[in-house]
Amino acid sequence: MRKIDFTILIPAIFLVVMGTSQIISYTSGRMLLAHFAALGGGFAGMFIFSLTKYKVFIRFRAITLYVLGILLLLAVLSFGRTVRGSCSWLNIGIVVFQPSELVKFTTIIFLTYYFSRNYIDRGSPRTVFFTVLFGALPLALVLKQPDVGTAMVFLFIIFVFLYFSQNINFLMFLVISGGIVLIEIIYFCLYPAGTWSLYLAGAAFFAVLYLLMRFLLRIKKAHVLVLSLGSLFVLSLLFSWKVTSMLKPYQKNRILNFIKPSRDTLNSGYHLSQSLITIGSGKLTGKGYRMGSQARLGFLPGKYTDFIFASIAEEFGFLGVLLILISYFVLYLRIIKISMLAIDQQGTFLTLAIFAILFFQTVLNIGMTLGIMPITGLPLPFVSYGGTALVVYLSMLGIVMNVGATAEGW
Amino acid sequence: MWYKDRGWDLFIKYIKFARFILILSFTLILSRVFQIQVFKGYRFSKKSQENYLKKFIIAPKRGNMVSSDGEILATTYVSYNLVSQSPPTDSILEELSSITGVPVKKMKQNICEAQRKKEILVTLANDLKGRPLIAVASRIDEYPDLRIIKAPKRFYPYEKIFSHVTGYLGEPTKSEISEMPYSYTGSLHGQSGIEKTYDKYLFGKAGGEIVEVTASGNIVEVKGSVPPSSGDEVRLTVDSRLQRAAFEAFNGRPGAAIALNPKTGAIRLLVSSPGFKPSVFVDRSEEVARLMTAPEIPLVNRAIQMKYPPGSAFKIITSAAALSEGCIKTDTQFECDGIFEYADREFKCWKEEGHGIMDFMQGFANSCNIYFYNVGLKTGGENLSKYAKMMGLDLNVFEDISGELESTIPGPAWKKKKLKRGWWNGDSINMAIGQGFLWVTPMQMALVVSGLATRGVIYKPYIVEKVISAENDIEYASKPEIAREYKLSDRTFELLKKAMRKTVLEGTGRILDIKDYEIYGKTGTAQNPNGEDHGWFVSYGGGALSDFCLVVVVEHGGMGSVSAGPIARIVWDEYIKIKADAGQEKVNEKN
């Protein structure tokens, strides 16, 4: 241990302390004990991984870990514990933990391994296919629990590795089709059976497109192009319709609430409006530690889990939030910097993927409490209550430290 | 840096783009947080306070109303209500219902209403007493959410007898609330009578409690409280014995009676029959709806809110006008043969066979219509109208109870303006006996009579003697005020007095001929298009009784001497008895 990366350690400790400040307020007994145990485990993991040579670790452990992760997910589905509608907890005697958090880590390690091996071929359909497949496998299992939030993280992991392939056209296609599917899902939330006007408008659009291509641009095989585009569109419609029909009513409500927050402030919009009141009432300097009426008196749901950011904002005000955001910002900038300094592809891909996972969840969680992202139920990294996530994310930071230390020479 | 060495330096752009996204999203989040916490912080912190700080109103104790003889006419007692911090389960409701006797359905209605009004406390049962109260109180610990709270409740010991004096309580309308800064949601205020006009004294000042509640509505702690302060006591000039005697004398027949002290204007009794029970408005019972629509209109205060033709009682004014203007002298004689013909029309006397030849005194005492037709013709509408107004029939000066009606006093100018027609002598004939277009309230007649007793000084009537605060400070005290002063010659007053005395001794008012006492009176029997005649009896006392005058009207009661007379007699007897008792007490004190 020649070099401890304080630029990573200090923000991480600060975030963990802020989270713990709220968790102490609202939990006690076994729950609180579990949190401190996870803290110990997390920093131990960070320490161990910062000393483990990531190159060796990835080369010899990636496949094993990935397979183990998939098996864990299968185990959860077979004899997991169901909490609040989703079956994502596994009891292995000593501890109860959330394998999906662990599998985030194993999956990026494995994808890093796979992707850096095939880096020369990175744009080829074969690499893309397998990248998607390896990502989609845990995604499907998580979706089965069902845990839509975590599934979205896996979706994002796939996207990140496709991003590494540097295929601009393919990425554009992904982003545009993703956007179209999203719009279609929102549409089907609004009109579950679809509307005739949509189908007519679609048909008319493709008809006009065909006429334009054929007679204005004088493309001879216009019908082939238009037909394939049209069938893609129809496929996307079917896909979104299927996805929407799989959503639970409360999930549809969340999507609709995000589009129109004033839609239903009493029932499904209650979380968001209370979250905004909680954050806003903290004002510049906050109500003071242990003085947050919104969280304390039960107006804020998930005060130490999904909405812990609001709890902190209420008690510590804008200044506290500023410190939190600065911590995240410094931490993430440092990870990106290390990814630039990394001496090999594994180092770069791994740190970038870690950054992506943490950043994605941070933005989604904070954005959710602020009403600029839909409510997804993702925890806030390092801050929210949740032992498995804490251990995993702190360990991730350990690996990042190791990559950085390797780049700067032991 | 592996990518530089192998010519894959394009990759750095992808990393830099990721960094750009990081900066962008954090800028966005930071500005959003700034917007919510700094720009909108004040608004959100108000909302958060609304969330957890709830205000309870503690109702003040409404002040008492006390009669001049010290009887409590309206008071407030402590009632016990069963409330719940959260809607109880059905099984608990059923248990409570069996203890309190309040039906489950009624409790559920209360719960719905409380939820609609977003109140934290649900009132399950109101005004618990006796056995149910003890039963609930002894088991209250079994239900952590339930509490018994004290709430003031209005009570009227005399119920119907003083109903139009006390008035009743109810929830005010929106426009009324804007004039009552001391009101609060659900507070009860006077809707009529003294309860209404003296509401700001009687109401007191509401106290309050600010409590901290959790999201599920449980009270965490009381943050602060202000005790309520009781309302002032209102002392009235009415005497409960007179009021009771008069009210009971009506025996439910519709009508009104007013007695006042002509020397001050203090009202000694004010009865409107039929009465109503003011407490039904506090209980919000189904009786309220019936009262509102009942054909006998019990909520109308007939003493001031109902106009009747004065009938022969108006002959006092006709006489005053004719004698003062010199249109007749006391020895002017007219013959009554039962029918008076004028311009092809027949006007009848109430005595079909006629009274024969009479002078003024005889005509007045016997209330002969034909005598007064002649007087009216001689005097003319102009004079009748002028004297009616002068002697107080146009007064609208009673302020202690709101809603007094204006009288209709016809005259040539009035007819031209209202009916666009000329005054003809037939109108004068009708008006001379108090019929035709003439409509007055019992209160206005009482003022006319009080003016006779004081020889031309009419005091403003009042019913509130004083208002005394809980700390014994006098908040308001009434004093006699002259509402009207008019001049008639002493001779005219003397003649009227004699005529009214003769009415009592020999004429239609013989029922008030009480030995050793001097009472002056005049009956009236007012024809009206809606049915049986209204009976009037107006009277005032002399000598020892000079501080009392009385007007009684019995709606559709028939002849004044028969319907209103006996009521007047009962009241006068009661008054004489009260006077005697007071005198006896004084003698006792001296000894």
Query: Measured between beta carbons, which residues in chain A are less than 8 angstroms from residue B30?
Result: 322, 325
Give the C-alpha separation, A204 to A200, whole Å: 6
Distance from CA of A242 to the nearest CA of B (A): 31
Mutation test of the interface with chain A: which of B28, B48, B54, B223, choosing the one with the most A Cβ atoms within 10 A? B48
Distance from CA of A280 to the nearest CA of B (A): 4
Closest CA relative to residue B390, chosen from B316, B324, B460, B456: B456
Give the C-alpha separation, B122 to B544, whole Å: 60
Tell me, yes or no, if B77 comes closer than 8 A to chain A by beta carbon.
no
Beta bridge partners of B205: B229
Residues in chain B: 591
How is B44-80 classified by DSSP, letter by letter? HHHHHHHHHEEEEEEPPPPPPEE-TTS-EEEEEEEEE
Size of interface A-B (CB pairs under 8 A): 124
Tell me, yes or no, if A156 comes closer than 8 A to chain B by beta carbon.
no
Query: Measured between beta carbons, which residues in chain B are less than 8 angstroms from residue A327?
Result: none
Inter-chain touch A297–B3, beta carbons under 8 Å: no
Inter-chain touch A348–B213, beta carbons under 8 Å: no
Give the C-alpha separation, B511 to B488, whole Å: 29
Tell me, yes or no, if A294 comes closer than 8 A to chain B by beta carbon.
yes
Query: Measured between beta carbons, which residues in chain B are less than 8 angstroms from residue A363?
Result: 25, 29
Distance from CA of B143 to the nearest CA of A (A): 22
Q: Is B343 left (phi over 0), alpha (psi -120 to 50) or beta?
A: left
How is B490-513 classified by DSSP, letter by letter? HHHHHHHHHHHHHHHHTSTTGGG-
Inter-chain touch A293–B3, beta carbons under 8 Å: no
Query: Measured between beta carbons, which residues in chain A are less than 8 angstroms from residue B45?
Result: 280-281, 283
Query: Measured between beta carbons, which residues in chain A are less than 8 angstroms from residue B15?
Result: 336, 339-340, 348, 352
Q: What angle do CA A273, A276, A278 make, to 5 degrees?
A: 110
Residues B128-141 as b or e (16 or more Cβ within 10 Å = b): beeebbebbeeeee
Reported ipTM: the value is 0.90
Inter-chain touch B213–A163, beta carbons under 8 Å: no
Tell me, yes or no, if A346 comes closer than 8 A to chain B by beta carbon.
no
Inter-chain touch A298–B215, beta carbons under 8 Å: yes
Query: Measured between beta carbons, which residues in chain A are less than 8 angstroms from residue B19?
Result: 333, 336
Tell me, yes or no, if A277 comes closer than 8 A to chain B by beta carbon.
yes
Scanning the structure block, which residue is given the tokens 């004028």?
B342
For A342, which residue in chain B has the nearest alpha carbon? B1
Query: Measured between beta carbons, which residues in chain A are less than 8 angstroms from residue B213?
Result: 297
Closest CA relative to residue B379, chosen from B331, B464, B322: B322
Does A327 fall in a domain?
yes
Residues in chain A: 410
Closest CA relative to residue B480, chosen from B260, B201, B156, B282: B260
Taking the CB of residue A389, how many other CB atoms lie within 10 A of it? 25
Tell me, yes or no, if B24 comes closer than 8 A to chain A by beta carbon.
no
What is the domain extent for residue A39? 6-407
Window 203-262 of B: residues touching A by CB (8 A cutoff) are 212-216, 220
Inter-chain touch A370–B36, beta carbons under 8 Å: yes
Beta strands in B304-383 (DSSP E): 334-336, 339-342, 345-348, 356-358
Inter-chain touch B52–A321, beta carbons under 8 Å: no
Does A214 fall in a domain?
yes
Inter-chain touch A348–B14, beta carbons under 8 Å: no
Inter-chain touch A372–B3, beta carbons under 8 Å: no
How high is the mean pLDDT in each 10-residue block of chain B (591 residues)? 66 89 96 94 90 84 94 92 82 84 83 75 81 84 82 90 94 83 84 93 90 80 88 95 95 94 95 92 84 91 94 93 91 88 85 88 90 92 93 93 93 91 90 92 95 94 94 92 93 93 91 92 89 92 92 92 93 93 82 70
Give the C-alpha separation, B330 to B361, whole Å: 7
**What is the three-class DSSP state of B290?**
helix
Q: What is this structure's pTM?
A: 0.69
Set out the domains of chain B in order of their start, with CATH numbers. Answer: 54-236 (3.90.1310.10), 247-291+302-588 (3.40.710.10)
Tell me, yes or no, if A170 comes closer than 8 A to chain B by beta carbon.
no
Query: Measured between beta carbons, which residues in chain A are less than 8 angstroms from residue B35?
Result: none
Inter-chain touch A297–B33, beta carbons under 8 Å: no
Query: Measured between beta carbons, which residues in chain B are less than 8 angstroms from residue A345?
Result: 2-3
Query: Measured between beta carbons, which residues in chain A are less than 8 angstroms from residue B218?
Result: none
- C-alpha B73 chain-centroid distance: 13
Distance from CA of A291 to the nearest CA of B (A): 12
How is B529-553 classified by DSSP, letter by letter? TTEEEEEEEEEEE-GGGTT-EEEEE
**Alpha helices in B150-214, H assignment, sequence order:** 163-166, 174-178, 193-197, 199-202
> Side-chain half-sphere of A108: how many Cα atoms within 13 Å?
32
Inter-chain touch B33–A164, beta carbons under 8 Å: no
User: Which among A313, A325, A340 is the nearest to B30, CB-wise?
Assistant: A325
> Which amino acid is present at A228?
S
HEC string of chain A equals: CCCCCHHHHHHHHHHHHHHHHHHHHHCCHHHHHHHHHHHHHHHHHHHHHHHCCHHHHHHHHHHHHHHHHHHHHHHHHHHCEEECCEEEEEECCCCEECHHHHHHHHHHHHHHHHHHHCCCCCCCHHHHHHHHHHHHHHHHHHHCCCCHHHHHHHHHHHHHHHHHCCCHHHHHHHHHHHHHHHHHHHHHHHCCCCCHHHHHHHHHHHHHHHHHHHHHCCCCCHHHHHHHHHHHHHHHHHHHHHHHHHCCHHHHHHHHHHHCHHHCCCCCCHHHHHHHHHHHHCCCCCCCCCCCHHHHCCCCCCCCCCCHHHHHHHHHHHHHHHHHHHHHHHHHHHHHHHHHHCCCHHHHHHHHHHHHHHHHHHHHHHHHHHCCCCCCCCCCCCCCCCHHHHHHHHHHHHHHHHHHHHHCCC
Contact status, residue B317 vs residue B393, Cβ threshold 8 Å? yes
Query: Measured between beta carbons, which residues in chain B are less than 8 angstroms from residue A367?
Result: 29
For A322, which residue in chain B has the nearest alpha carbon? B30
> Side-chain half-sphere of B99: how many Cα atoms within 13 Å?
21
Tell me, yes or no, if A365 comes closer than 8 A to chain B by beta carbon.
no
Give the C-alpha separation, B564 to B572, whole Å: 12
Query: Measured between beta carbons, which residues in chain B are less than 8 angstroms from residue A166?
Result: 10-11, 14
Give the C-alpha separation, A257 to A277, whole Å: 17
Give the C-alpha separation, B507 to B187, whole Å: 55
Tell me, yes or no, if B41 comes closer than 8 A to chain A by beta carbon.
yes
Structure token digits, residue A43: 């920093």
Contact status, residue B65 vs residue B166, Cβ threshold 8 Å? yes
Distance from CA of B41 to the nearest CA of A (A): 5
Query: Measured between beta carbons, which residues in chain A are less than 8 angstroms from residue B51?
Result: 277, 293-294, 297, 299
Does A155 fall in a domain?
yes
Does A1 fall in a domain?
no
For A371, which residue in chain B has the nearest alpha carbon? B32
Does A54 fall in a domain?
yes
User: Which among A277, A332, A352 is the nearest to B15, CB-wise?
Assistant: A352
Distance from CA of B84 to the nearest CA of A (A): 19
Give the C-alpha separation, A245 to A343, whole Å: 47
Inter-chain touch B47–A344, beta carbons under 8 Å: no
Give the C-alpha separation, A272 to A71, whole Å: 36
For B13, which residue in chain A has the nearest alpha carbon? A166
Per-residue model confidence as pLDDT tens for chain A (410 residues): 456 899 999 999 999 999 999 999 999 989 999 999 999 999 999 999 999 999 888 988 899 999 999 999 999 988 888 777 777 888 877 788 899 999 999 999 999 999 888 888 877 888 888 998 999 999 999 988 888 889 989 999 999 988 888 777 778 888 888 888 888 888 888 777 777 887 888 888 888 988 888 888 888 888 888 888 888 888 888 888 888 888 878 777 777 777 665 555 555 577 888 999 999 999 999 999 999 999 999 889 889 999 999 999 999 999 999 999 999 999 999 999 999 999 888 999 999 999 999 999 999 999 999 988 888 888 999 999 999 999 999 999 999 999 999 988 75
Distance from CA of A340 to the nearest CA of B (A): 7
pLDDT digits (tens, 9 = 90+) for B12-35: 888 999 999 999 999 999 999 999
Residues A132-156 as b or e (16 or more Cβ within 10 Å = b): eebbebbbebbbebbbbbbbbbbbb
Give the C-alpha separation, A394 to A366, whole Å: 19
Tell me, yes or no, if A359 comes closer than 8 A to chain B by beta carbon.
yes
Give the C-alpha separation, B87 to B251, whole Å: 48
Contact status, residue A157 vs residue A69, Cβ threshold 8 Å? no
Tell me, yes or no, if B27 comes closer than 8 A to chain A by beta carbon.
no
User: Which among B2, B45, B213 is the nearest to A281, CB-wise?
Assistant: B45
Does A84 fall in a domain?
yes
Inter-chain touch B2–A342, beta carbons under 8 Å: yes
What is the count of structural domains for chain A? 1
